[in-house]
Structure 1
Amino acid sequence: MVSYADVRRWNADRLDAVHSDLGKRRDELINLQDELDGARNPDGWTGEAAQRSAEQHRRLMEDMRSLVAEVATVRAAVATAADDVTALKRRVDTTDHEAHAHGFQITEDGGVRDVAPPQNIPADQLDQVKAERTRVRDDLVAEIEKILDQAEAIDAELAKALTAADEDQIKPGEGTSLADAAETDELEALAASAGKPAGTSPQAVSDWWTSLSDDQRAAVLETTPKMLGNLDGIPATIRDKANRDRISDERTALRARKTELARKGELSDSEQKEFDGLDAKLKSLDKVEETLDKGDRQLLVLDSGGERMKAAVAVGDVDSADHVSVFTPGLTSTVDGSLSGYDNDMAKLVQDARNQLATEGEDESVAAVTWIGYEAPQIDESMADVVGDERDSVASAQSAEEGGKKLNGFLGGINASRDEDPHLTAIGHSYGSTTTGYALQQGGHGVDDAVLYGSPGSGADSVKDLHVPEGHAYRMEAKWDPVADLGRFGDDLTHQDGYRDLSTEDSRYGEGVTGHSDYLNEDTTSQHNVAAVAAGLPDNIQHGSDPGAGDVISQGTKTVIDSAETAVDTGEKVVDGVGDGIGWTIDKAKDVF
């Protein structure tokens, strides 16, 4: 009999840990296939001893296949239980909060005590208050009964799977290998019954996932984790489970490919490039695991295709956070070289946003994602990638456009996967701001605020093209940031109307920053401002425009031309108009330099 106190102590995180551990055990067992194959009778061995040896090998293989099937089945049951416990715990928390708000206390056995009845009630309101409290108590009692019934069902289902495994009642999947054994008839049937999403949009994916039973979801997670891990519209907790489970398989596949290439001896240029890339991908997996080990993290993208590894890691719970930010970095960003540092930045940003919310008396949660879900441009020793026209060049918009399509789906998937949309903020730095701009231009992303900083351009002709609410697009430029003055992808944001400016100078909120790379440094005005936007606290923003030399020169040129045109229109000397424009430029330049 499950008690209310038992449910309060239930811990979905522990079940998730068991789920992950069972996945590792399953993989370890499956990886014994080569050893088992090597233990078969050698060719040409005959006789009674050979027959006994072959029989023992067959029995060992059957036992191993049964064990793999049992682990796979129990693992799927644990996944179902973990999801059910997570939902049940939220229900318990809501019920406890409701009880406390009305002066009741739910006891460990599920009883309801009136511990703080209202005092000094006017006589003419006494009956009404009494009736209302009776209603609240009865509602609490009814909800507690439903919670305990659900808890009993969760416990019974998990016990059923454990009993079946303990009593050898689970039939391995068809085939002869250990890997085949994991695909039991029951799991395969459930996964097949789940079908596929009706479309590729995040909403279509979410509708499909929502339509599945808990057992179908667990079966799909067990049999096709690669599909779920990178599918926009799937809840973050499920993507995290699926991607974590794939890390070991990805590492094994990358090592196998590396061994295959090494055996060839002399490699072609393309093969050598692939070989070198495999090392970077393996290092990327190491960095992913190191980042996850920091705790309170979710792995929302894991993609080893293409030249470089792609990944996205969240600080906090994207499924439940009131405020979710997605940060896209730019030039030279890679998973192996950049994920850990940017993750630290996001952790500090989340903490700053939480602190600002607490100061305002808001009890709201925050999560932030480092999204390296595209292959950002790199710089090679010859600097060719910076000035060239190839896809991997920072001078080309192709990576930003391709990455923007992926980012758009990722952003839309966050809203689609949740019952209630969070306050969603898109943050882009440098070339990542261009990628973010291309993502936002496609619409359908559900972004509430956008922050573009150190930006060479958003790729949009107007802030309206970003499809964010009016007044909720922000730009930020520090002095001596040459990239922010390039205007390489559309107009320099400084000269586009509709953005709100975030200060990067000294203020009561922190120190100022200069250059291109220090915007998210701790205890700076710029970090405070980004955190304020991420927390949905516009009143906390320190506004201010900090034009750089490039802005002055650009605006000065325009002023000279405008002054000359005005002189012509008014019949004055052009030289006088040009002089006025140059004078304006010199005065502004003094402020910058």
Structure 2
Amino acid sequence: MVGLSEVRTWRPAALETVFDQLGRHRDTLVGLDDELSDAKAPEGWSGEAADAAGRRHDEISEEMRRLVAGIAAVRRGTAEAADALVAVQQALTEAEELARVNGFQVQDDGVVLDVAPPQVEPSQVETVRRERELVRAEVIERIAQVVRRAADIDADLAAILTAAADDAVDDGDAVSLADAESAGADQGALSTLGPPESDNPAANAGWWNSLSEEEQAQLLQDSPELIGNLDGLPASVRDEANRAQLDGERQRLEAEIADLEAQLDDRFLGGWFTDLDDRLDQAREQLAAVDAIETTLDRGDRQLLLFDLSHEQARAAVAVGDVDTADHVAVLTPGFTTTVQDSLEGYDNQMRDLQRQAEDESLRYGDGGSVATVAWLGYDAPQADLGLLNPKEAVWSPQPAQRGAEDLADFYRGIDASRTEDPHLTALGHSYGSTTTGYALQQETGVDDAVFFGSPGLGTSDVTDLQVPAGSTYVIEARNDFVADLGGTAPFGIDPNQMDGVTGLSAREEQLPDGRRLNESEGHSAYLAPDSTSQYNMSVIVSGNADRAVHDDGRGFGDWLSRPVPGTY
């Protein structure tokens, strides 16, 4: 049974020494190929002795080929095991360092002890406790993946050694010792361990870190669809994997559309009494989604963090900036009627403008840190179609938001898990997307600030249900935003701007202390307009400059109509 104590004491350099020694033995044996061939019975020799000599020569040749094949298999196995062990021990070192800097200690049995809890102000005790539990859970998952990968390496190498010892490495159809070496080496490869079944972001991160660079590169080349959407993997890896699938998906969809169109043309009644029309519409929508994604990526400085055509609606997430290195990361979740094909390019424009504004504010008044923003269209947002008749899919139902919240929470957690140092992470939720965000934040996610705008409700009437630091939940409500005025009437909790503990930010025309004048945002869809007060307020929250925000409770006539009756929530 492989455990941490074994992993800590393993010596990859010893395997490298074995690899070198086996290489010398292999060279010696393969160098005998000509002599072995010359030892055949001379031409013209016949009779029983000649036949016996020939048979014995064949036997010796086969024994030599199998010996060389076995050596080649073990040699390759030791080389790959050495590389794999280096990666595993590095992953262990990173997990232990994450534990150490946060006051935890990893024991040989994998138990993670809290040995140095920080002393904090009473008001911060609960926030710090939640943050530390999230870190501890991440360390545990990373350690589990180290042990899992180590056990896989041990089992693979043991199987190769056993096969060689049992003379079970096949030399194939080799006619020379060089051919036997090639055949044996093919049987000495270690398997590549697949991602954990749990799909936990921290476990995904631990698994990826436990792989050697060669294994990671091979997965990117051979199985991009396996890793592109795994929360917890580096943004650069997800981007490369997801981009690699775009051309293939385009070709598949174009072929599917052509086939469906041909089937419809051949039918006298067209699509009547079949699902051909629906399938064709969906294929065309997915192709349009691929078009929108490629157009967005062509703008440069983008990362494709989610690409999924396996659901009723296409799903995508595109970042502006580098999520792997940014000091501040913001994730926008939009709402009703959002689709990748019709909405991604517009939201990407808004995220580009917000990123630039946030970086400007960071340089002007903050830490000067870099910013990355993400448009996350990663759930089936309610649509203005026949889904309105389905109580499980309609915009007035919490169920689409609750389902989307599970994936959104993992996306947040994955950003932190993919990095050695967590960024300052802000959740942005607009309209029905604010409800999805609210449900997601009722889990531990590592989100530091949350800004809800145009919100019909957060899925709760108690801000303490949101697992974000106290005082870090904000709401923006513009004048004449009829959707936001629905808060308290929809089944999503009271209007956020009437919720104790939520800080109201202005969407009105304002003048800043430094003399800048900002425009008012009015209605439901202008919150991210350039040079608006609401966009400015989001930019200072995203860049970690909450003290620069302009406050306003955003309450208007509609809010007074929808005020909760005492005792109803």
Matched, 1:434 2:435: yes
Q: Deviations over 1:364-402 (max 9, x none)?
A: 10000000011111113xxx545x344332112221111
Q: CA RMSD in A?
A: 2.5
Instruction: Give 5+ residue unaligned stretches, structure 2.
Output: 1-82, 88-183, 265-269, 513-517
**Contact 1:429/1:454, CA 8 A, preserved across alignment:** yes
1:387-428 CA-to-partner distances (Å, cap 9, x unmatched) read x34433211222111111111111110000100000000100
**Equivalent position of 1:506 in the other structure:** 509
Cα displacement (A) at 1:190:
6.8
**Following the alignment from structure 1 to structure 2, what is the Cα–Cα distance between the partners of residues 249 and 546?**
48
**Secondary structure, aligned partner of 2:392:** coil
Structure-2 residue corresponding to 1:490: 493
SS of alignment partner, residue 282 of structure 1: helix
Q: Is the 8 A contact 2:329 2:425 kept in 1?
A: yes
The aligned runs of 1:138-537 (5 Å cut-off) are 192-197=191-196, 199-265=198-264, 266-267=270-271, 268=273, 270-360=275-365, 362-380=367-385, 385-386=387-388, 388-441=389-442, 443-487=443-487, 488=490, 489-509=492-512, 510-537=518-545
Would the alpha carbon gap of residues 195 and 361 (structure 1) be closer, same or farther in structure 2, given more than 3 Å must change?
Answer: closer
User: 2:71 maps to what in 1?
Assistant: none
**Offset from partner CA, 1:317-361 (integer Å, 9 cap, x none):** 000000000001111111111111110100110111111111126
Q: Distance in 2 between matches of 1:188 and 1:294?
A: 46
Q: 1:68-97 deviations in whole A, cap 9, x for unaligned?
A: xxxxxxxxxxxx9xxx9xxxxxxxxxxxxx
Does the aligned pair in 2 maintain the 1:188–1:219 contact within 8 Å? no
Q: Distance in 2 between matches of 1:243 and 1:191?
A: 26
Shift of 1:187: 11
How far does the alpha carbon of each residue in 1:6-52 deviate from its partner, in whole angstroms, 9 at most, with x for none? xxxxxxxxxxxxxxxxxxxxxxxxxxxxxxxxxxxxxxxxxxxxxxx
Q: Which amino acid aligns with 1:302?
A: F
SS in 1 for 2:191: helix
Give the Å deviation of 1:549. 1.9
Name the aligned partner's letter for residue 250 of structure 2.
Answer: R
Displacement over 6 Å in runs of 4+ = 185-191
Report SS of the residue matched to 1:312: strand
- Does the 8 Å contact 1:450/1:474 carry over to 2? yes
SS in 2 for 1:547: coil
Q: Distance in 1 between matches of 2:186 and 2:285?
A: 35
- CA distance in 2 between partners of 1:189 and 1:367 (Å): 43
* Equivalent position amino acid for 2:519 in 1: E
Q: SS in structure 2 opposite 1:482? A: coil
1:539 aligns with 2:547: yes
CA distance in structure 2 between the aligned counterparts of 1:187 and 1:325, rounded to whole angstroms: 47
What letter is aligned with 2:256? R
Distance 2:474 2:448 in 1: 11
Provide the C-alpha distance between the structure 1 equivalents of 2:485 and 2:236, rounded to a whole number of angstroms.
Answer: 40
Deviation string 1:147-179 (CA, Å, 9 cap, x unpaired) is xxxxxxxxxxxxxxxxxxxxxxxxxxxxxxxxx
Q: Which amino acid aligns with 2:480?
A: W
The DSSP-based 3-state class of the residue aligned with 1:363 is: coil
Residue range with higher mean Cα deviation, 268-277 or 281-290: 268-277
Change (3 A) 1:210 1:189: farther
Query: How many angstroms apart in 2 are the aligned matches of 1:208 and 1:512?
Result: 48
Cα contact 2:224–2:242 (8 A) shared by 1: yes
Q: CA deviation at 1:262?
A: 2.6
Structure 1 runs not aligned, ≥5 long? 1-79, 85-184, 563-593
The one-letter code matched in structure 1 to 2:349 is: N
Report if aligned partners of 1:403, 1:435 keep a CA contact under 8 Å in 2. yes
Contact 2:441 2:467 (8 Å CA) reproduced: yes
Partner of 1:549: 557
Q: 1:502 offset after TM fit, Å? A: 0.6
Cα distance, 1:270 vs. partner?
3.3
SS at match of 2:342: helix
Q: Which digits, 9 at most, give the CA deviation of each residue in 1:190-243, with x for residues without a partner?
A: 783233326321000000011111001001111110111111111000000000
CA spacing shift, 1:547–1:237, aligned 2, 3 Å = same
Change in Cα spacing, 1:263 to 1:390, as seen in structure 2 (3 Å) is: farther
Aligned-residue offset at 1:444: 2.5
How many residues in Structure 1 have an aligned counterpart in Structure 2? 374
Paired residue type of 1:242: A
Alpha-carbon deviations, 1:233-271, whole Å to 9, x = none?
110000000000000111122222223323332334533
Letter in 2 for 1:515: G
Q: Percent identity?
A: 45
- Describe how 1:84-95 pairs up with structure 2 within 5 A: none
Q: 1:233 to 1:468 in 2, by over 3 A?
A: same
The residue identity in structure 1 corresponding to 2:473 is A
- Verify the 8 A CA contact 1:240 1:298 in the aligned structure 2: yes
Structure 2 equivalent of residue 571 of structure 1 = none
Q: Distance in 1 between matches of 2:438 and 2:217?
A: 37
Amino acid of the structure 2 residue aligned with 1:411? Y
C-alpha deviation, 1:496, in angstroms:
1.4
SS of match in other structure, 2:444? coil
Where do 1:18-57 residues align within 5 Å? none
Verify the 8 A CA contact 1:190 1:216 in the aligned structure 2: no
Change (3 A) 1:190 1:403: farther
- Mapped to 1, the partners of 2:405 and 2:458 lie a distance apart of 11
How far apart, CA to CA, are the structure 2 residues paired with 1:188 and 1:490? 61
1:274–1:307 contact (8 Å) kept in structure 2: no
Q: Contact 1:411–1:447 at 8 Å: present in 2 too?
A: yes
Q: Quote the residue 1:136 is aligned against.
A: none
Structure of higher RCO (CA pairs closer than 8 Å, 6+ residues apart): 2
Q: Under a length normalisation based on structure 2, what TM-score does the superposition of the two structures give?
A: 0.63
How much has 1:481 moved relative to structure 2?
A: 0.7
Which residue identity does 1:553 align to in structure 2?
Answer: L
Deviations 1:535-563 (A, max 9, x none): 011111001112122211233x849x99x
TM-score by length of 1: 0.60
Q: Quick check: 2:330–2:425 contact (8 Å CA) kept in 1?
A: yes
Shift of 1:493: 1.2
- 2: CA distance between counterparts of 1:361 and 1:368? 17
